[in-house]
Structure 1
Amino acid sequence: MSSATGIRSALSNYATGVTVITARDGDGLCGLTANSFTSVSLSPPLLLFCIGRARASFEVFRRSETFSVNVLSATQKHLSDRFASSGKEKWRGIEYAEDEFGNAIFPGSAATFSCRKKEMVDAADHMIVLGEVLGFREDRKHSPLVYCRSSYCLPVDLDREPRPAA
């Protein structure tokens, strides 16, 4: 096993949520599936995601001043699969609303965040995109979609009261 394959396999043990990040490009929309997403700060509210330079949508995210993050719910695996692909056809038949910046927000998401891009940081073959949260919505009726060991799965014990993070 090559070191890259081994590292990828070891990293797959870290369960992540699944997001579709969207941005507007003139009259069109772009979107990509990403699990490299995390909160950075609560005051001010900052988050980040990573995008590969080779992605077809890289230039749109580089130029765009805003973006939206859709934290997918367990019923939205089809959106994850669709936006993991390239091409404009991925928008065909997809229901969405727009946030105040015109970025796509998917009904039924566990949470959505509307962000202003603050900074892009060079990270080898990727860029880290840091955004300030300007608006958000949460829907606890929908369980979040989780990805672990190269498979989709559902979190358990969601009926318990939330505990503060350690």
Structure 2
Amino acid sequence: MTQPRTAPPFDLTEYRRALGGFATGVCVVTAHSEDGAFGITVNSFTSVSLEPPLVLWCLDDSSDRHDVFAAAGRFAIHVLPVEDREMSDRFAWGICRLAPDEFDTTNPEPPRLRNALLRLDCTAHSRTTMGDHLVIVGAVQTVESRAGDALTYFRGRYGVAPEPTV
């Protein structure tokens, strides 16, 4: 049973601004549906468990791609390199379908972006509605990573998390 939402005892605009003070990585999640390959930009991504390997990300209930990702049995999470800011913007606000030259079409399930710093291929483990988001937990099946500077997001702006030099 869903509890009715009540207004918090603080200003939601200030709450959002405060949470924007937490720097996050920028990821694109991809999945297939009967209508093709789709992507969505997220910054609500984290590791849940090492044993078994589980990760989670959050999907806004009002997203125009909600149905695609809520139903996806498999998906890939890609940590973007700093040079892929345009891709992040596109999957956040614009075209949500992947062009064939953007992902590996020889093994398209789930769609794998060509330039990611990190890619986790996942199967859906669980889905839970929390507030105005669907929390999706994925069981990690494969991991691929490469060196490079990661795209970050902090206080409404893109930034960079440089590759460690140690």
Matched with 1:132 is 139
Note the alpha carbon deviations across 1:15-51, whole angstroms, 9 max, x for none: 0000000110025011110000000011110000000
Query: One-letter code of the match for 1:56?
Result: D
Of residues 11, 27, 33, the one that matches 1:19 is 27
Matching residue of 2:16: 8
Residue 164 of structure 1: aligned partner: none
CA distance in 1, matches of 2:136, 2:123: 10
- Residue 87 of structure 1 deviates from its aligned partner by 4.6
Contact 2:76 2:122 in 1 (8 A): yes
* Correspondence list, 1:70-85, <5 A: 70-85=78-93
Q: Does 1:29 align with 2:37?
A: yes
User: Where does residue 149 of structure 2 map in the other structure?
Assistant: 143
Between the aligned partners of 1:14 and 1:99, the Cα distance in structure 2 is 38
SS in 1 for 2:87: helix
Partners of 1:64 and 1:99 in 2: how far apart? 20
| Count of equivalent residues | 157
Which residue does the alignment assign to 2:165?
A: 160
CA distance in 1, matches of 2:131, 2:92: 21
8 Å contact 1:71–1:109 — kept in the other structure? yes
Distance in 2, Cα, partners of 1:64 & 1:77: 25
Contact 1:56-1:86 within 8 A present in 2 as well: no
Aligned pair 1:103/2:110, yes or no? yes
Q: 1:44 is matched with which residue? A: 52
Change (3 A) 1:94 1:13: farther
Provide structure 1 residue ranges, at least 5 long, that are not aligned to the other structure: 162-166
Contact conserved, 2:74 with 2:109, CA < 8 A, in 1? no
Secondary structure in 1 matching 2:83: helix
- Judge conservation of contact 2:30–2:110 (CA < 8 Å) in 1: yes
Call closer, same or farther: CA 1:118–1:72 in 2, change over 3 Å. same
- Change in Cα spacing, 1:79 to 1:143, as seen in structure 2 (3 Å) is same
Kept after mapping to 2: 8 A contact 1:15/1:146: yes
State the superposition RMSD in angstroms: 1.9
> In the TM superposition, what whole-angstrom CA distance separates every residue of 1:57-99 from its partner, at most 9, and x where no partner exists?
11111211111101101111111001002555x5347522158
Structure 2, gaps ≥5 residues long: 1-9
Q: Is the 8 A contact 1:145 1:154 kept in 2?
A: yes
Match of 1:68 in 2: 76
Q: TM-score, normalised by structure 2?
A: 0.87
Equivalent AA in structure 2 for residue 115 of structure 1: C
Moved more, 96-105 or 14-23: 96-105
